[in-house]
Chains A and B, each alone.
Chain A
Amino acid sequence: MLDKLKVANKRFNSRLIVGTGKYKNMSECAKAIKLSGADIVTVAVRRVNISDKSKPLLMDYIDPKKISYLPNTSG
């Protein structure tokens, strides 16, 4: 079936949009997204903690070149 979702000249194979919160850890989140087949994930935007940068980054687990980030500005 050729029914791709097209948003601003970007084509998506899946219409499923999944969240990235409430997972036990980042690797579980990345695995679930991969298995779901979703091309778009929702993310939250936060200030970078200048004094502590040791926390793992979402971008290290979910490649933004492969999966589009849909930021939720409310939280």
Chain B
Amino acid sequence: MKKIKKIKIKINGKITSIVEELTLDKLIRNLKIPLSKVAIELNKEIVNKKNINKIKLNNKDVVEIVHFIGGG
């Protein structure tokens, strides 16, 4: 049986352990976050949601998930 490798990434400042080869869209789905209502940044760069299913997460990646709230 193939052993599932885990990697560590930072999501909104919190270090989280995830399985290797996980794509960004799967991570968002696992977190149950509505993709259409958030903006995502990966390693200081804004992610184009069209390519989100092609982006594989790597060890030590920094993910920021933001949304809009009243104020500003």
Given contacts A45-B68, A53-B32, A57-B67, 12 further A-B pairs with CB under 8 A are: A20-B70, A21-B70, A22-B71, A46-B66, A47-B13, A47-B64, A48-B65, A50-B14, A58-B67, A69-B68, A71-B68, A75-B72
Number of interface residues of A (CB under 8 A): 24
Q: How many of chain B's residues touch chain A, expressed as a range?
A: 20 to 34
Partner of B67, one of A20, A42, A46, A75: A46
Partner of A21, one of B32, B38, B71: B71
Contacts between chains A and B (CB distance < 8 A), count: 74
Bound form: Cα–Cα A70–B68 in Å: 10
Closest B-chain residue to A72, C-beta based?
Answer: B72
B: residues with CB less than 8 A from A are 11-14, 31-34, 36-39, 64-72
- Describe A's contact surface by its main secondary structure: mixed
